[in-house]
Amino acid sequence: MNIFFSWLVGLIFGLGLIISGMANPAKVFGFLDIAGVWDPSLAFVMVGGIGVASIGFFFARRRTQSWLGLPLHMPAARDIDRRLIVGSVLFGLGWGLAGICPGPAMVVAGTGALKGGVFVLAMLLGMAVFELAELRQAKFGAKSDVTE
Amino acid sequence: MTIDTLHFTPWAALIGGMLIGTAAALLMLINGRIAGVSGIVGGLLRPVPGSTLWRFAFVFGLLVSPMVFGLFAPLPPIQLDSGYPLLIVAGLLVGMGARYGAGCTSGHGICGISRLSPRSILATLLFMLTGMATVFVVRHVLGGA
């Protein structure tokens, strides 16, 4: 049951990305290019998304389990560390270079565009680099300078 | 600053954003999960028994969304002008950065801010400002695409 809903929610998410313009890299550039002719549309995506999601989270927080009786995996991390800062800056750099973030990457790949598929593969590789670094760290102790 | 009135689409953006927000709310209320695409995809690379299938299902939903949209209306333009080398570098940075930063535009930008998480608010500010700075350098300093 939860597998079907996951698919449905992914579909709704993707339709939202398409309708909002987030799935169009040219539109994302229009938003990020504040020194050019600025297109503030994507700020409205954030307003609509946060507006609705915050209602959902408001109700979710008052529950002990999901509607299907599953545990609620609310993020517990509270501390602002170097990983968060460095990671978010690297992410912003990549986002600014291509105008694609992970959700839209999947949608663009789903249109069958080869460029979308290539971006997704590179993104998976970037994620795999993170996983390998984490494994290495777990094995050899906290030597990486990325972790506080 | 000049507003691009030609391409400005506030209503489509707002409605699309509300759909994204609906998806984020439903995934937590139904499945108890955060709708952060980088977290959902990243979790597939570190498989935990019993926590893999729903991730594939979610990603599959994203992948078929253009096809489903196409059943009802012509797909809006998706204009991707970047060359392959740039796409690969950007993809690597997006993948690595989102995992180190524990979230992307959806996980921090939509879900995190909706939960009023200070971490997510900071992360969102950081990647938006860095994204804007990057576009500024590429377009107005280097004069590229």
Residue B92 has pLDDT above 90, yes or no: yes
What is the rounded average pLDDT of the residues A89-116? 97
Q: How many residues does chain A have?
A: 148
Judge: B7–A70 Cβ closer than 8 Å, yes or no.
no
**Can you tell me the distance from the alpha carbon of B53 to that of A82, in angstroms, rounded to the nearest whole number?**
32
Q: Are B32 and A5 in contact (CB under 8 A)?
A: no
ipTM of the complex: 0.96
For chain A, where are the alpha helices, taking DSSP H only? 2-20, 25-32, 41-61, 82-98, 102-110, 114-140
What is the rounded average pLDDT of the residues A63-89? 95
Residue B9 has pLDDT above 70, yes or no: yes
pLDDT band at B50 (very low <50, low <70, confident <90, very high): confident
pLDDT mean across residues, chain A = 93
Q: Is A132 on the interface with B (CB under 8 A)?
A: no
What is the structure's pLDDT at B10?
94
Residue A47 has pLDDT above 60, yes or no: yes
Within 10 angstroms of residue B119's Cβ, the number of other Cβ atoms is: 21
**Can you tell me the distance from the alpha carbon of B95 to that of B103, in angstroms, rounded to the nearest whole number?**
10
- In eight-state DSSP terms, residue B75 is P
pLDDT mean across residues, chain B = 95
Domain ranges of chain A: 1-76, 79-148
CA distances from A68 to A119, B30, B51, B133 (A): 35, 6, 15, 43
Q: Which residue has the higher pLDDT, A127 or A76?
A: A127
Judge: A4–B10 Cβ closer than 8 Å, yes or no.
no
Q: Is A10 on the interface with B (CB under 8 A)?
A: yes
The structure tokens 């909002």 sit at A20
